[in-house]
Amino acid sequence: MGKKETNIILAAILIIIGIGGILKQVFNINLFGYISFWDLGILALGLYFEWQYFTTRRSPGILVPGGIFTVVGLFSFLEALLGGLFFTHFPAGELGVALGLFQLYWFGSRNKFLLIPVGILLISALDEMSTNFFRWFNGSLVWSIGLIAIGIYLIANRKRN
């Protein structure tokens, strides 16, 4: 690693520490507390996997654990930062796997069969998240809207053919 890269990493660390200090003083958000610090470790591990692929462009399979750790770390960090007001960890795992598999599809061999578990996990996670965000916006409403959208798509597609 050259001097230029070392300076960039040092600058990024100093900026993050400075932002953490401002958040603590202004908003009373402890960015570097014990509860949120291990979440940053998981997030950093995921970003490291992502960085490994995007710097070498070899072995896209590393994007799957990268996506999982990045999403789970981000969800955990936001939940600790916001005091548990955000959502549960359950959809984070599903979204992480969906993101990792989608990245494998996008940057890998473009195997269309990877999109099946991505779609299933994404729909399931969004359904779970919708019940956490809006109490009136539950799973049956999501499925009903989804069925209506599929029906409209089939009707519109029929007219084109």
Under the banding of pLDDT at 50, 70 and 90, the label for residue 34 is low
Given a cut of 90, whether residue 68 has pLDDT beyond it is: yes
Q: How confident is the model at residue 161, as a pLDDT?
A: 56
Under the banding of pLDDT at 50, 70 and 90, the label for residue 58 is confident
**How many whole angstroms separate alpha carbon 23 and alpha carbon 21?**
5
Structure tokens at 88: 């549960």
Cβ atoms of 99 and 74 within 8 Å: the answer is no
Overall average pLDDT of the 32-55 stretch: 80
pLDDT digits (tens, 9 = 90+) for 91-123: 888 899 999 999 999 998 888 898 999 999 988
Under the banding of pLDDT at 50, 70 and 90, the label for residue 64 is very high
Q: How confident is the model at residue 138, as a pLDDT?
A: 60
Between 137 and 92, the higher pLDDT residue: 92
Per-residue DSSP letter, 114: G
Per-residue DSSP letter, 62: G
Through-space distance between the first and last CA atoms of the chain, rounded to whole angstroms: 57
DSSP three-state, residue 116 = helix
